[in-house]
Structure 1
């Protein structure tokens, strides 16, 4: 059975939980207003709607990492330094890769180490909401290593994957670019790892309407 592979995290405190009211205030978005993520890759562009009112904590994590307003541990800094001196704020996803691709299942990225075992240096809890399921292609969902171990890694499905329901937190869905997801899933790979890097060149967050390259 295909699974979203575990991720390994480092010890930062779990960020404060964000509810919909706090999300609205923090991100200057009104109730009912839509939120979008544009993923510009070297294989094409994908645009997803983010379900911020239903899973605000998960979406806050993704958006704040994408926009560079949430701190994370930079693994390139001297590991002997205190953790607080290795925490940086910059657009996290820009330049990362989709390190795992499985045609007919999903593509997975968001690991700063590029190995499938990295993350931002903290974990946070799951958000399972009735009506948000892995019910078709284009679902954005969090990769994890078990309950309550979300970090930065996410995957985008190619088809319905109901065995992942209540195990991985759904937080968005593609509205454009499923053909790009399909293309990425089918790049030449060795043990599900692309032989040539599939790069997330930039993630843009759009309030009210998608941002386009």
Structure 2
């Protein structure tokens, strides 16, 4: 594998060229996922800025920021809104069953006892059990202490709580899916 650096003002990107047994050469971007940032979500209801807890949840932050750098969250819906509980997104299928991590496999929980779901604006990973984190995440709308020790907290809302509040009030169906499509138009990394 030969790696060469490309210059970019918006992100650090390298291109790796590899040759398969077939002789085909493919270019694929390699991102600097260790570069710390916060993430801004440009949603259909306004902007939300997320402060990431890199010291407390480094793998989870690396995954979330890495997915944002790869435009993974662009045009992905918030597929679940439960008033006074959570707003959930990060599944490109919009079903609540999809998603992927930057490693293309589930990754381990980062359960820090110092971090708790104490109120609105906490950002955590959605999962289907221990060590099943991928791309789905949720924003709390109220204290949710029963989630402590089960979901990896990796950030908080830094700006845009009014947007979060507006999202929490949208009309939903019997399955807690927004009646009108509610999307993350774009997720971008903001250097810190």
Q: 1:95 corresponds to which residue? A: 75
The answer (yes or no) to whether the contact 1:43–1:180 under 8 Å persists in 2 is yes
Name the CA distance, whole Å, in 1 between partners of 2:148 and 2:35.
31
The DSSP-based 3-state class of the residue aligned with 1:151 is: coil
Q: Which has the larger radius of gyration?
A: 2
Deviation at 1:26, TM superposition (A): 4.9
Aligned to 1:58: 60
Q: Which has the higher strand share?
A: 2
Q: In structure 1, what is the equivalent of residue 125 of structure 2?
A: 142
Match of residue 115, structure 1, among 95, 98, 101: 95
Shift of 1:58: 0.5
Q: 2:62 & 2:55 partners in 1: Cα distance?
A: 10
Does 2:186 align with 1:206?
Answer: no
Task: List gaps (5 residues or longer) in structure 1.
Answer: 1-24, 30-34, 69-90, 209-213
The alignment covers a number of residue pairs equal to: 157
1:182 aligns with 2:189: no
How far has the Cα of 1:162 moved from its partner? 0.5
CA distance in 2, matches of 1:114, 1:174: 22
SS of residue in 2 equivalent to 1:181: helix
* CA shift for structure 1 position 28: 3.7
Aligned counterparts of 1:154 and 1:26: Cα–Cα separation in 2: 18
Q: Aligned match of 2:140 in 157, 163, 175?
A: 157
Q: Deviations over 1:29-80 (max 9, x none)?
A: 5xxxxx3111110111111100011110011111111101xxxxxxxxxxxx
Residue number in structure 1 paired with 2:46: 44
Query: Normalized against structure 2, the TM-score is what?
Result: 0.78
Contact (CA 8 Å) 1:97, 1:114: kept in 2 or not? yes
Runs of 4+ in 1 over 4 A off after TM superposition: none
| 1:137–1:158 CA contact under 8 A, matched in 2 | yes
TM-score under structure 1 length normalisation: 0.71
For the residue of structure 1 that corresponds to 2:76, the secondary structure is coil
Q: Could you report, residue by residue, the CA deviation over 1:119-176 in whole angstroms, capped at 9, with x for unpaired residues?
A: 1152111001131111111000000000011110000001111000000000000011
Aligned equivalents of 1:26 and 1:117: distance in 2?
25
**Rounded Cα–Cα distance in structure 1 between residues aligned with 2:33 and 2:160:** 29
Q: Contact (CA 8 Å) 1:103, 1:182: kept in 2 or not?
A: no
